[in-house]
Structure 1
């Protein structure tokens, strides 16, 4: 198993109502940088997205932002990052996030965050990658989704041999140790297939 060097973080472009969400984003960005793990994220300077990026930068971490051109103004593109990649659409953004990351971590967020998470879970379920996927369930934020997964299993839609592969951290401080323990195996063939089909 190779070590995790680059982590993609999915999270909200808002802060949410619980201050614990912002605290978790701050803690995660700091922890990734201190562990020498580079951050890949959505490129904006708003909400939890901006918080995790700024925290990583302040702790000396390397940050890459990937943002579609139509969101540059709406999400207030963060200029201070080491690398900004402006892409034409959401599909390209997600493909580059996948290609540049060894693992995926999901903080609280809205429907866009959920969509990004579920796509990576689906690709892993179908054998397209073996990269770790971590849900940071601050204040039990992801508990309803985890219950839905159990509901799907109970009804036979998540079957043996096609189960979901993910880890759950209750707080941001648990993420880096989880990633260090798991590592990952890059599947170059899988990456090629995903790139071709996007």
Structure 2
């Protein structure tokens, strides 16, 4: 999936079919079914079939391949989506892994709890800290919605403890105040 600056797609050089930038690698953008019977030497030069992938994720992939000694064949997912669960079936990038068509997904991929049930993720290389929280409920918010975090017994205990702490604090201030109630001093006559 293309997402600059993590994964960039640029067309190859028209004459040689090679990638113009030194750190870019060829990646297939056409579905595999379109390549049946096509001359691969010509297909690599045609941006309809192959483009050049570069970016931060591609740099990581090249480093991992060099360090761990594996080869790879990059391609863009056919349906062009990240992957969601529809009627018990995954689509997009997740379907590529789950159905065994790919071994690894290399892109800036958002991790959520639903996706974690289907895939194993590495540690994130970027945390944005941006979060949006919305309620799934529809309708009018109840006027007593602020009471919902605790049950009735918890609120009664909080009220009881609060009254006790407030009463003790007032007593302490009155006792220590020079003008407050002091049991040692007798009233003036």
TM-score (norm 1): 0.28
Structure with a larger share of its residues in strand: 1
Structure with a larger share of its residues in helix: 1
Q: Which has the higher contact order (CA 8 A, sep 6+)?
A: 1
